[in-house]
Structure formats: C-alpha cells, structure tokens
Structure 1
Amino acid sequence: MSEPPPRGASLRFARVLSIVLHPFLVFAVLALAAAWRLDPGSMLRTAVGIAIAIAIVWAFVLQRRRAGHWQTVDASRPQERPLLYLLALLVAGAYWWWMGGRASATSTGIIAAVAMLCIAGLANRWIKLSLHMASLAFAGCVLLQLAPVPGIAMLAILPLLACARLRMARHTVPEIAAGVLLGVLCGGALTLVG
C-alpha cells in the first residue's frame, strides 16, 4: 500500500489547484465558451474585455497584499472582502457595457454572475463563502447547457477543489457548501431563464 504524499506536497498541490481553478480563470473560460457558442463574432471583444477586467482586479489584489492590508491574495479575512466585492461589481458592470449591454448575447449570463457576487457580498456579514467554489459551480451549471462535457468536468472536480480550499485553510466546510449552493442556484437560475 502506498503512503500518502507528504504534507508539503499536498499543500503545494492544493495551491496549484486553487490557482488553476481561480475564479478569474473559471470566469474567463466561461465567458469565452459562451461567446464561442452564442456569438462567435464576439470572441475577440470577449477576450479583450475579460483580460482587462482580470488585470484591473488582479492589480488591486496585489496592491492590497503588498501594502499589507490583506493577509493573502484570496482576501481570506471577511473584513478584506467588501472592497473586493465593490471593485468586482464595478468591473463586471463595465464589462457588461463593453460587451454591448442588454444587446449582448451574454448579457443575461453577466447579470447572473453579478447577482451571484451581490449575494456573496451581502452574505459576507455572516459567512465568508468560497468564491472559488461558487464560480466553479456556477460555470459548471451554465456550461452543462452550452458545452456539456466541460460542464460535467467542472462539476466533477468540485470535491477536489473543496479539499484544496480546506487543506489551505482558506475556508470551512460550511463556507465551501455555501459557495457551491450559491453557484448552483445562480447557474441553475440562468439556465432556466436563458
């Protein structure tokens, strides 16, 4: 019988998984998949808009961390999150406008993602739900309709990401469960409306 990996190796794997399945990357993949399926002519506009949105939020995150205002780049303490939510909502609104507002084929999806962020932001007073889990669950549910195989894959790796977030001590089990529930509810609502 093989021995479990050393604690250091499991922590490194958890970090890599958390980076690969970071909400920025998950939403980028979802946005590009949605553009490809719903409006292939908007692929370049989508890629540019997503890249700019991620660059803005990431620059803010790095500034907060380097200045010592945040403990980690994940905004791990609940009091670190309100500014992150505010910026993410402003950037998402600008992205929605960039994509053409209500005329965009992905408008409803962007609004659903914004609603998910709003709910997470409001819930932050009571629970620091996992945005990693929420974004992956949301993307998985939405992709089930647009591209079923990637959608199933995203939903299937939710338990692995949950273990990674727990291993890194970024979240508790209730925070992970709340993130999955929020992502599934918002993603499911989008598929019903869309």
Structure 2
Amino acid sequence: MTHSIKAECARIVSIALHPFAVFALLNLLALWRLDPASLPRIMLGMAVVMVVVWAFVWQRHRAGHWSTVDASSKHERPALYALVLVLLIAYAAWVGRSSPLAIGVAVVIGMLCVAGVANRWIKLSLHMASLAFCAVVLWSLYRNASVVAFALLPLLGWARLRMARHTTVEVLGGTMLGLAAGIVLLSLG
C-alpha cells in the first residue's frame, strides 16, 4: 500500500470506530436486548449528546482553537472532557435509574474522569478505550459482536498510530482503561 492509501485507510478506520459510533452501537445493541421499548427515547438522548459535542468540536476547529477535530493536543482536551461529562450526566438523568443502561453510563462517566485526570501526564486514546470497553460489555450480550470488537482493536490501534494521534503507550493505556471499565461494569451488573 502506498503512503496515501495507508493514511486514508487509517482515517476511515478512525472515523468508523469513533467513540460516538462505538457507544451508539453499544447502546443500540444493549437496548435491543435489555429494554427494546425505551430504544427511541434513549437513542434520541444519545443523538442530542452527539450533536452538541460535534457542534462544539466543529466550532473549536473552525475557529482555529484546535489543530484537528480529534482534540489531538493535550491542552485541547480539558474543555472537551468538561463538556462531555456535563452532557453524560444529563444523559444519565435522561436514561433514568431504572434503565438497564444506568450503571453503564455511570461507569463511562468514571472512565472519562480517569482519562481526564490522566490527561495531565498522558493523552489516553479514547478511541481505544471506547472500543475496548464495548468489547468487554458486549461479551455478556452478544458474544459474536464482542469477538468482532476485540478483533478490531489492533486495527484501530494501528490507525491511531498511523495518523499520529497517539503514541504506542497512549494507545495501550486507552485500551487498558477501556478493558478495566468494562470489567468493572460486568462485575457491577
């Protein structure tokens, strides 16, 4: 593969396995299995969160405050973390305590808090954390989907490294964070 084809493949993989896409799919699959009646309401809440975050990201990038839409520099991330945490707390309230997703949303909030604190020293890959988290969680819901998610982790890691968005340590650290958060969720459920 030529340099430009590899770069384009890495970009496509990063977009396809973006945390929003991964978490939206996890929400969809979990609700389909656990509470199909709430699917439209919960997915609406998730769509609102994604639109607000993307509008913020797009504005920051277009205004020249961020070098990429990935908030690739460590100094760009605190504002993103703060916004996402506020929105996830609102999403948790929207989901409600009675939803089977409530504990999962709380664990994801905890995972983002850890990544936010760690950002002072290391820019953990949230792409890797989200896919690893979903791979673990899907194990209890849809084993085949879990196997696919685990199999995609090396490809996503390659893409994040190829795009120079992270170092190897940041990719591995994000993966470990996601795996740990997924294990915490399964142990609570």
The TM-score bracket by the shorter chain reads over 0.9
Aligned counterpart, 1:129: 124
* Aligned equivalents of 1:46, 1:98: Cα separation in 2: 8
Per-residue CA deviations over 1:108-148 (Å, capped at 9, x if unaligned) read 00001111000000000000000000000001100011111
Alignment of 1:68-107 (within 5 A): 68-100=64-96, 102-107=97-102
Per-residue CA deviations over 1:82-127 (Å, capped at 9, x if unaligned) read 0000000011111111112x22211000001111000000000000
Alignment pair present for 1:46 and 2:42? yes
Count of aligned pairs between the two proteins: 189
* Aligned equivalents of 2:173, 2:2: Cα separation in 1: 30
* Aligned equivalents of 1:73, 1:107: Cα separation in 2: 29
Q: TM-score, normalised by structure 2?
A: 0.99
* Aligned equivalents of 1:32, 1:119: Cα separation in 2: 25
Offset, 1:35: 1.0
Percent sequence identity over aligned pairs:
52
* Aligned equivalents of 2:140, 2:49: Cα separation in 1: 25
- Give the CA RMSD over aligned residues: 0.6
Per-residue CA deviations over 1:61-89 (Å, capped at 9, x if unaligned) read 00000000000000000000000000000
Aligned counterpart, 1:165: 160
* Aligned equivalents of 2:157, 2:111: Cα separation in 1: 19
Q: Write out the 4+ residue segments of structure 1 that deviate beyond 3 Å after TM superposition.
A: none
Alignment of 1:11-50 (within 5 A): 11-50=7-46
* Aligned equivalents of 1:182, 1:13: Cα separation in 2: 25
**Counterpart of 1:10 in 2: which secondary structure?**
helix
Offset, 1:151: 1.0
Q: TM-score, normalised by structure 1?
A: 0.96
**Consecutive unaligned residues in structure 1, runs of 5 or more:** none
Match 1:119 to one of 94, 111, 114: 114
Question: 1:55 corresponds to which letter in structure 2?
Answer: V
Question: 1:17 corresponds to which letter in structure 2?
Answer: V
